[in-house]
Amino acid sequence: MKEKVKYILLFTLLFLVLTPFLKQHTNILQNKFVADDLRGYFPPVDSANFSLQNWMDGKYQSQQEEFLKRNLKIRPHAVRVNNQLHYDILDEIRSTIVEGKDGYLFETMYIRSLQGLDFIGTKKIEEQVEKLKVVSDTLKKEEGTDVIVVIALDKARYFKEKIPAHYDLENIDFTNYETYLHFFKKNDIPVLDFNQYFLNQKNNTEHALATKQGVHWSLYGGMLAADSIQSYIGKLKGKENEINHLNKSEITKTTKVRKEDDDIGQSINIYYPLEADTFSYFENHLVRPKNQKPYKPNVALVGDSFSWTIWGQNIPHYYWGENSLFLYYYREIYDLKWTELNGTLLKHEQKLPFVKKQDVIILLYTPMNMNDLGSGFIEETYDLIFKE
């Protein structure tokens, strides 16, 4: 019996040692141990350039080690096995994720923002809003362009009761979100606060506006927001009866997730699925061109990752004008025509011309990202206006 155990352990060890080698360097296991790519963002790592200096200071070794690990063909399996064991045995999860009550997952930075730990200061926020007011008034007067602040849902606030008890959510002095709202009101800045609106609707809807394992508003919630934005633009421009809306008559409720409604759950990269959730989705939400209304405003959407719900569902592509843009974090350009601009970095000389082509500029950010509201748009546009 002891001999059998020894042989079993020996062959297990050989299997664990030889499998990665054979998978990496031969075709023997080419069609074996095939796994989906890991989910999440992993910055690319290039192979290290050898030089005597890089060798002596250790940079070559550390970069090459990271390059080899990143390109290991068995890596998706190894990472998932490791993460699954940590999750099942040690009750551990990725360091930037918190598992709350009833299996709700949160990004730690959203909880920190809710606690006010990223507060940038009242004076800084007041100055930013005053600059935004100048930018807004100037663009309205000179170009007829309206600036709207849109605040997306914050999951930590929406599911506050699901956050683990050891987080202090009572002794909070100031947050960027509440302070910005105060100065927006003081300066008459147009604001669509979906964070508060969705909180008010939380107990009045059967549909999920946020999900257990997602970081953003749900696809359903984001599209509700998009339709409300369309309505608000129509009202601002006196085109309420000429602007297009989403078709909201067909709704599917399902436990089968679509798009990014479980993006946190996927990003922890484990083998076995987490607890099921229920999702709602609009079907056939876009009105086809032959049935569309005539008014299509040119809109520059400046925003964080919550903006992808709107852009990714092709709402701008059907309902906005041809000069419309998505300026992701005011850094990357995405247009409606899939031109050579798509995915390129925003250049200084492009900024003011892009702004002046628009009927509306939307700043769309979740409360967690309001420590850098506009990602430089407010300050840079303010400076560009006064340099002209």
Quote the pLDDT of residue 195.
Answer: 97
Quote the pLDDT of residue 318.
Answer: 93
Quote the pLDDT of residue 145.
Answer: 96
Residue 204 has pLDDT above 70, yes or no: yes
Strands (E), 212-317: 251-254, 279-282, 299-303
Long-range pairs for 199-207: beta carbons < 8 A, 24 or more residues apart: 199/157, 199/158, 202/158, 206/253, 206/280, 207/251, 207/253, 207/280
| Whole-angstrom distance, CA of residue 336 vs CA of residue 326 | 9
Task: Between 131 and 77, name the one with better pLDDT.
Answer: 131
**Which pLDDT tens digit goes with each residue over 16-71?**
666 666 556 677 766 666 667 767 666 677 777 878 787 787 777 787 777 766 66
Residue 111: half-sphere exposure toward Cβ, Cα within 13 Å: 22
Residue 219 has pLDDT above 70, yes or no: yes
Rg over CA atoms, the chain: 25
Strands (E), the chain: 97-99, 105-107, 146-151, 191-193, 251-254, 279-282, 299-303, 325-328, 332-335, 360-365
Q: Which of 292, 290, 280 is nearest to 319 (CA)?
A: 292
Q: Which of 45-49, 66-70, 131-135, 318-322 is predicted least confidently?
A: 66-70
Q: CA-CA-CA-CA torsion for 347, 352, 355, 357, nearest 10 degrees?
A: -100
Is residue 104 within 8 A of residue 166, CB to CB? The reply is no
For the chain, what percent of residues have pLDDT higher than 70? 91
Is residue 151 within 8 A of residue 366, CB to CB? The reply is yes
**Which pLDDT tens digit goes with each residue over 344-381?**
999 999 998 898 899 999 999 999 999 999 999 999 99
Whole-number average pLDDT of the chain? 88
Contacts of 364 (CB under 8 A, 6+ apart): 150, 151, 152, 301, 302, 303, 304, 306, 307, 310
Q: What is the pTM of this model?
A: 0.85
Q: Which of 214, 96, 112, 201 is nearest to 155 (CA)?
A: 214
Quote the pLDDT of residue 383.
Answer: 93
Q: What b/e string do you get for 318-352 counting C-beta neighbours within 10 Å, with b at 16 or more?
A: bbbbebbbbbbbbeebbbbeeeeeeeeebeeeebe
Residue 331 phi/psi, 5-degree rounding, is -130, -45
Residue 228 banded pLDDT, cuts 50, 70, 90: very high
